[in-house]
């Protein structure tokens, strides 16, 4: 009789590792790690305080959201159906300039609840005051990768201040816990000078952390950059020394064949955000070509203001279908590959595949149970297709991170949902009422 902390019995297991799909499986967790993952019939006897009945459920690795701005839940539904630049300049930036640290905390906490409720166990965030996002994630019990946003937009002082803040947060959090990881987050090539990007690369090397950037998202910005520098965005990243296996590039829509070769050669990782790309009409990234070239691609939702959801099950469906439509071929991105992108490939994109992304003994116990006893999931002829094409985030029944049960029977156990909804809503409405003031302050900031 082996003594462990938690056992899940009788479920089908999508390991997303070498064992593939295990029917009638059992999972044992000890000290936050997976102690056993396999068939019940071959398993040793376990003794545990917590035993979860997994019958009628699929156990799979918690989903990995590679690109979001969690605190932007406060802006969900503000200024809809607008072009990206109008949306940013007239609404989002003026509002962001008025954000207080507490706003970010409650916005991120609201998003953490949404992520737990839809099966995400690890998210990669880029925003300001990321220590507030860390606080929210720690409280909610999620695993996260923080990228402090860095931007100069022609204002050297601004870049210096934000880089200093990013380095400070990196020093504070990097390597302290297995639950919070750090990258530096230079916003994009159109909002960061090459000089700033070089400094970011130097700091990232010193700190031994990765870099997370928006790359080739907007056709107009990409064209602008090409006309100013005479080179593509990917080329420019090479010039400042940022191309490499620890670069996480979100979007990557307006790129050439040559760019893809370069990205593959340097092992650059991509975060594919199909819903945001469609909603903002940014264009359709060539994910099939990136995958064919050997590039690792994870999935992201982007921020809740440009999606407007953090449901990675929804993102899986959009991810698959957008590529089929893009290439005019229903065979492109089959369901199983999409589940890989949402789990093990996402973990690879974040450099965390040694810890998470598959259910294999020795890895972290980040597990979700999906309830398949639902009319819209019956009959199940193909498990991967059921998860990608039929399941919704609301089918997730149980969420476990680091061996700790964050949600059970759809009840979140770590935070008071009603209270967080109330506070976040209050913060959002309060922020909007400060909007006219915000415009003035935004102008002031841009005059630094």
- 43 Rama class: left (phi>0) / alpha (psi -120 to 50) / beta: beta
Residue 70 CB, nearest approach to a copy of itself (Å): 12
> Within 13 Å of residue 195, how many CA atoms lie on the same side as its CB?
8
Q: How far apart are CA 180 and CA 218, in angstroms?
A: 30
Interface mask toward a copy of itself for 34-73; x: CB under 8 A: ---------------------------------------x
Residue 366 CB, nearest approach to a copy of itself (Å): 20
Residue 279 CB, nearest approach to a copy of itself (Å): 5
List the one residue out of 18, 71, 76, 11 whose CA is nearest residue 40: 11
Q: Which residues pair with 272 in a beta bridge?
A: 299
Residues 69-128 that bind a copy of itself (CB under 8 A): 73-78, 80-84, 87, 110, 113-114, 117-118
3-state DSSP assignment of residue 176: coil
Q: Tokens 């947060």 appear where?
A: 169
Q: Is 230 or 375 the residue whose CB approaches a copy of itself more closely? A: 375
Q: Residues 250, 300: contact at Cβ < 8 Å?
A: yes
Specify the length of the chain in residues: 448
Does the footprint of a copy of itself cover residue 278 (CB under 8 A)? yes
Does the footprint of a copy of itself cover residue 301 (CB under 8 A)? no
Q: Is 183 or 424 the residue whose CB approaches a copy of itself more closely? A: 424
Residue 189 CB, nearest approach to a copy of itself (Å): 21
**How far, in Å, are 69, 153, 208, 248, 286 from residue 347 at the CA level?**
18, 31, 18, 12, 21
List the one residue out of 349, 344, 384 whose CA is nearest residue 364: 344
Question: Total number of residues binding a copy of itself (CB under 8 A)?
Answer: 71
Tokens of 203: 């700091």
Instruction: Report which DSSP code applies to 72.
Output: G
Residue 24 CB, nearest approach to a copy of itself (Å): 18
Q: Tokens 């530096």 appear where?
A: 184
Does the footprint of a copy of itself cover residue 447 (CB under 8 A)? no
Residues 233-272 that bind a copy of itself (CB under 8 A): none
Q: Which of 355, 432, 442, 445 binds a copy of itself (CB under 8 A)?
A: 432
Does the footprint of a copy of itself cover residue 385 (CB under 8 A)? yes
Residues 390-429 that bind a copy of itself (CB under 8 A): 390, 392-394, 417, 420-421, 424-425, 428-429
Q: Which of 18, 381, 409, 447 binds a copy of itself (CB under 8 A)?
A: 381
Residue 227 CB, nearest approach to a copy of itself (Å): 20
List the one residue out of 200, 45, 71, 53 whose CA is nearest residue 129: 71
Q: Is 234 or 332 the residue whose CB approaches a copy of itself more closely? A: 332
Q: Which of 307, 315, 398, 414 binds a copy of itself (CB under 8 A)?
A: 307
Question: Which helix or strand (DSSP H or E) is residue 194 part of?
Answer: helix 194-207
Interface mask toward a copy of itself for 345-374; x: CB under 8 A: ----------------------------x-
Residue 350 CB, nearest approach to a copy of itself (Å): 23
3-state DSSP assignment of residue 148: strand
List the one residue out of 114, 302, 323, 298 whose CA is nearest residue 217: 302
């Amino acid at each position: 009789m082996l003594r462990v902390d938690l056992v899940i019995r009788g479920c089908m297991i999508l390991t997303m590792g070498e064992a593939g799909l295990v029917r009638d499986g059992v999972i044992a967790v000890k000290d936050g790690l997976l102690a056993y993952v396999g068939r019940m019939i071959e398993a040793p006897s376990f003794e545990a305080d917590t035993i979860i009945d997994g019958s009628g459920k699929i156990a799979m690795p918690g989903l990995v959201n590679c690109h979001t701005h969690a605190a932007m839940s406060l802006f969900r539904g503000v200024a809809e159906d607008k072009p990206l630049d109008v949306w940013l300049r007239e609404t989002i930036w003026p509002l962001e300039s008025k954000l207080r640290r507490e706003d970010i905390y409650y916005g991120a906490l609201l998003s953490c609840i949404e992520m737990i409720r839809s099966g995400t166990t690890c998210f990669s965030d880029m925003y300001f005051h990321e220590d507030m996002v860390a606080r929210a994630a720690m409280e909610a019990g999620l695993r996260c990768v923080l990228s402090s946003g860095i931007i100069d937009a022609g204002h050297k002082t601004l870049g210096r201040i934000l880089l200093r803040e990013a380095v400070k947060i990196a020093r504070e959090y990097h390597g302290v816990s297995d639950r919070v990881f750090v990258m530096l987050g230079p916003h994009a090539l159109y909002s960061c000078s090459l000089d700033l990007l070089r400094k970011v690369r130097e700091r990232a090397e010193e700190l031994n952390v990765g870099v997370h950037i928006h790359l080739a998202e907007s056709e107009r910005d990409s064209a602008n950059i090409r006309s100013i520098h005479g080179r593509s965005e990917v080329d420019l990243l090479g010039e400042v020394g940022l191309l490499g296996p620890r670069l996480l590039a979100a979007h990557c829509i307006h790129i050439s064949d040559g760019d893809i070769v370069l990205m593959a050669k340097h092992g650059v990782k991509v975060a594919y955000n199909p819903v945001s790309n469609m909603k903002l009409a940014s264009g359709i990234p060539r994910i099939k070509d990136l995958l064919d070239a050997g590039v690792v691609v994870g999935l992201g939702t982007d921020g809740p203001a440009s999606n407007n959801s953090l449901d990675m099950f929804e993102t899986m469906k959009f991810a698959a279908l957008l590529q089929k439509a893009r290439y005019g071929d229903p065979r492109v991105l089959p369901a199983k590959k999409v589940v890989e992108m949402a789990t093990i490939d996402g973990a690879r994109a974040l450099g965390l595949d040694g810890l998470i992304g598959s259910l294999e003994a020795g890895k972290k116990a980040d597990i979700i149970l999906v309830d398949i006893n639902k009319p819209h999931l019956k009959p199940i002829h193909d498990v991967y297709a059921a998860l990608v094409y039929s399941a919704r985030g609301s089918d997730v029944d149980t969420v476990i991170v680091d061996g700790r049960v964050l949600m059970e029977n759809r009840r979140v156990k770590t935070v008071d949902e009603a209270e967080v909804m109330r506070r976040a809503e209050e913060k959002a409405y309060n922020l909007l009422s400060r909007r006219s003031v915000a415009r003035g302050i935004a102008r002031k900031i841009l005059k630094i």
